[in-house]
Structures are given as structure tokens and as C-alpha cells.
Structure 1
Amino acid sequence: MTRNGISRRLAAAALALAAVLGAGGWAAGGERPVTGPPPGTAAWLADTTLGRPLPDPAAARPAEVAAFFEPLPPAARESLAVRHPLVVGNLDGAPVELRYRANARAIAEEREHALARAADPALTPEDHTAARERAERYRTLLDDAAPGGPRRFLAFDPRGRGLVAEVFGDLAGAARTAVVVPGSDIDLRTFDRAGDPLGTPVGMAGALHGATGGRTAVIAWAGYTTPAGLGPDAATETLAGAGAERLTRLLDGLAVSTRPEAPATVFCHSYGSVVCGLARPGPRQASGVVVLGSPGLGVGSAAALDPGVPLWATARNGSDWIGNVPYVRLFGLGHGADPTDPAFGARPLPSTGSHGHTGYFAPGTASLAAFAGIALGR
């Protein structure tokens, strides 16, 4: 093909990409990613009750955080979590059970703040409604306990649309760990929902945990700002780049707090595939990466990723709309080559029995069976 022919083909693909995304709401975009350390960091750094500096959430590596907490008496740990719940709850490398308690406290405190805003006469009726909705959401996070006890949150950040991560299973004691990285339209409000539950990180993580017979601890990780709708944010990599930094820190923290000989397996759905591709986890961070319903990984082939981390690509089912998005990366739009193309270099996984963009974790599907096997290290 001539150079002009190639240019025309790429231009046509770019126009097709814009058309597909435009049908989903191109005007919706401009999400600002949540970045930096959690709220309350300034007060944390100013705390001198232990007679020595506390680790800087923005700079301390998870291994340094773990080394800080390890010699502290239980009472000192609890005191820090009570005074600084948002910091401790989001501090990768801190003891897992301590983070659970800190996040439960943080969610309860945020609910009280939201209820106060809902009754504040200085605010508008719209503000009151939004505050009541937030308060109710926080209540469900605290009250909708599973049969095994209260829900366990490894992260909670009320900024923006809200970030949250929930754990299924025994994260500290399980032989294997998995992380589910979701795609667009996931936030505090849509983290779990009755409609289309398998399209949420909670539904995906719960299905995977069950499929492994509970032998793998699974994290439903809505820990980055996702695109809202199929607009410019979904077609570009700005949010994915910010999410990749946060995912990298999560994986570094898990390498400290779980079994280092068995790093997490990362399951990346839809736009979450771009996050995982840009994170490029190494063998100390991940034992494998699985992509499903993927628009691309932001790279041209598997060779651009760490060769020490196996990459699996799940076959697209015939009713998954993601197949209508051109696999291009041009003029800042698109996420590169199709990972299910044999030329990409990923290991193939079946998807028999799955339906639609969010059906890959459905019970009885070949994809969920394959995911469980990989999560178990088979």
C-alpha cells in the first residue's frame, strides 16, 4: 500500500473512532483525575505525638510505610487510624486490618459531613440533594454487610466522584491475590449496583472470588478516576495515565502486605486495560495480566510490556460493542492494536457463553473458568 493509501486508511479509522465515541456522548468529557496524597495529609505530617516524623504519603514507598508500622504497639497504630483515618486507610504498606478499620471510620465521618451539608441553610436545594445522596451511599457501604461480616475497604477517598476499593477474602492470609481494574463510568456511586452487577468491580470481584472457591483474595479496585461516558476521556489516555500511577502504588503495597512469592494477578476490563498497559507491571508487582473487553492497551504489541509478566487477552464475544471501536492510536485518539489479534502476542483465552461488554465474569462462562484458573496460579 502506498504512503497516501496508508494515510487515508488511518484518517478513516480516526473518523470512525470519533463517530463511534460520538454516538456514546462525545460532549461529555473533561474529568479531572484525583491525584496526590489523600485528604488530611497536612495534619498527618504535622502530628508529632510519636516523637518522630510520620511517613509522607506522597513520597514514602510502601516498604518504608510497612517498616514504620511494624514496630509500633497496637495502641499507637489504632491512635493514628483514629486521628487520621483517610490517610491510614489509603496508605499502601500499612497493615491491612488497620486500613479496614480506618476506612470504616472515614466513611462514617464523611457520612456525618454529608448529613450536615444536607441541613445547611446556606446551601442550595441542589446541594442538599447531592449531600443526601452521598450520605445514603455512605450508609449503604457501612450497612450492606456480607454474611461473613462488615465489608472491608482497602481504600476510600471522597474527592471527586469518589474512589473506593473492596476486598473479598482474606487478603493477608490467602495464597493468591487478584485485582480487578474496571473501565468507564465506575465511581463511588456505581461501584456496585443491582442492575448489571457483573459490569461493576464488586460484581466481577465477587464472581472471581467465588469461582476460585474462596482461595484467592480479590480486590475490587475503583481507585482511579474513570471516564464518564464514551467521550474524549475514553478515547484518550490522560485518565489512564493517572490511574496507572495509582495502580502501580497499589501493586507495590500488595507486594509488601501479601505473599511476595505470589504477586497479584491483574484483571483489566475495558478502559481499565489502558490503565494496566500504561502501568506496565513487573514480575515483583504482578504474576500476570488479563485483559477483557479491551479497546487496546496503549501499546503496539505485547513486546512493549514487561516480558516477565504473562499477558492474556480474552476473546471478544460477538455482542460486545467494544469490537466496533477501531483499534488505532492516531492524533491522540485511540488505544492502539487489538490485543486479541494473534499478531499482538498475548496468550488467548476463550469467552464461550459470555454475552455483551460486561458478561465475561458470568458464572458458567469459559472466560470465568479461565480467569479462576489463572487467579489460582494454574
Structure 2
Amino acid sequence: MRFILLAVLLAWGGMPAAAQPAGETALDVKVMARGLEHPWSLAFLPDGRMLVTERPGRLRLIERDGRVRPALSGVPTVAATGQGGLLDIALDPAFSENRLIYLSFAERRGGDTNATAVYRARLNQAATGLEAGQVIFRQEPAFASRLHFGSRLVFDRSGALFVTMGERFQLPNESQNAANTIGKIARVTTAGAPAPGNPGAGRDGWAPAVWSIGHRNVQGAALHPATGELWITNHGPRGGDGLYVVRAGRNYGWPLISYGTHYDGRPVNGGARSAPGLEQPLVHWTPSIAPSGLTFYTGDLFPAWRGNLISGALAGQMLVRIELDGERVVAQHRLLTEFGQRFRDVRQGPDGALWALTDAADGQLVTIRPRGR
């Protein structure tokens, strides 16, 4: 185990001007586990142990002390290609009674095609395998692509499940086609059916599972602890990553507007950054930080951080703490910039610490606490 003492850095470029807090918060960072192959997501069991997904297709149980158990059986076969593989994990809201978990993954379809899917299964009592597994939801249509699968899973307060899905890179215009689930956020029941209250029930041309449209590649999602609304971070192309509140029936603009450019430097849609009827980000990151896992902090270890958003960053190789005043971003702070790792996911643990996964062939599980706590 190694400990690294790091400081919270002050607000950084491209952000609204804001007064900064006096002083700094010193952090202790502890590596709890190593040797995870491109870990993607983390979920805490009621007893404090963790389930961690590895993109090549393994699900691991990690003990509270960091011991990594052998891969669980019963995991679906994944298309571990490019950005695809085993992705997010979420526990059923009634997990203590039913032991159900949900996995999002890149599913191989006919020929070379693939797409995001959601798998539901029961964790056995020994926590060594999954039972009675089945795919409950599939992104349609499938496409031959190695890119932009999404995918985060978040339960809302009604017990419905949000599923974020990318536009597969080659299909940007399909993000605007509400009849399919390319570049969309879906909202489904625990059986995978369209959830009651979705906008498609009263809107022509909308697939019944679709909640919102116009997304590029959403890899960060969290429910606001006070309002219960879904907040997301979306990958832009070359710049233009954004933070949004996602509401039913709204259009989040891709590829009609963007603060970024195509990878070859061409402007997106002639350089349009706004248009009537298209939602604006609360903040955008240009150049790109490639935001990933997202969590609201509500714990006691960092009392000054309560209500802040914490985002992972892949290209940025850091965590970002985002101070909010309602839906207004008032400051951002870079965390763990000296750690030199791509942060794929970040969660608040039952102990109030932050727990994060680094995206690498030798990925790590780390905890972040105030110094001396």
C-alpha cells in the first residue's frame, strides 16, 4: 500500500469566476487494490464489500480491506472491443431483499454488429456468481462499431432505471432520431419495459423507452440528492464535454450544436453552439477532459464538500470537484492531478470517503480521505 499526500488545487480554466475557499484541503490517497484490468464501475454491497466490473468481461468481489476475489460466474458474454465490454453496475433498490444487480455491457449481435444492453441477475448468497441472468433491455439498432457505448445505470426515486447510450460514433445524426435508442437516455422498469411517465407516451415519433435525445456519449450520471433529477456528463468530440441536468423530452443538441470541433479540426455543424429548443450545458470543458464516473457528495468526512459533484476524468487524469449554487457552477477544483491516472469511476463509500477506479491494464481501486481521518 502506498500513501500519497495531495492538495486540492484552486479553480481552473474555462470556469465561471468565483471566490475560492480560504485554505486548502489536504488529502490522503490509499491504493486499496491493484491488478484490475480496465475496471469500469463500482457498487457497494450493504455489508461494505464492493462489486467491480472489468471491461474485458469480469465481475470481481473486493473485500473491505482490498482483497480481490476470483471473478464471479454467470456474467454475460461481452463484446470486449474498443470501448466495449462489461461496463456499469447498479444494485436493485430492493437488493437487501432480492439480491438483484444490473450490468450494462457491449453485446455482440448479428455479424460484426454490437450495441449496449442491460443484464439483470441475482447475486448468489456466497457472492461467487450470478444466477437467473437475462438481458432485459437492448439498444437498437445494433451497429458495427468499437466506440461510444455509454453507459451508466442510475435508479430514480420511483424505482425506474436510467440507461445512458452512446451514438456509436458513426451515427451522430441518429441522436436526433427519437424513434430509436442511439445517442439517447432510456428509462425502463426493472423488467426492461418502458417506464410509466416517459415522454414517448404522449409524443409522436418517440420510442416508448426514450427519456431524452441528442446525446453523444454519456459516461457520467448521478441522481441529485435533493431534487431527484438526473445529472450527466457527456463526452464532446475535440472539446465540448458538458455537464447537464436531464429532463423528460428534452433535446441535448448533438450533433446540431457543440462547443468542440471534430477530431480533424472541422467545426461541428458550421460552429453552431446554440439553437432554439436545444439544451445548453451548465458548464463545458474545452479542451476535453473526457469526464467519466459522477457522484454527488453527501457524506461527513468532507463537510465543506456536501452538495458538490465529483467527476472522474480520463484524458484529464484527475478528479474534478464541482461547486454548485442550485444549477449554477460556481467553481471547479482539480484533484489528484499528480496521481497520473485516468479516473474511470468515483463513488462515495458508506464510510464517507471517496472511492475511485483508475482505467488501466493494471487498474487500481483507491480511497480518498481528508488528511489524518
- Tell me whether the two structures share a fold, i.e. TM-score over 0.5: no
Shorter-chain TM band:
under 0.3
Q: Which structure has the larger Rg over C-alpha atoms?
A: 1
Give the alignment's TM-score, normalised by structure 1: 0.27
TM-score (norm 2): 0.27
More strand by share: 2
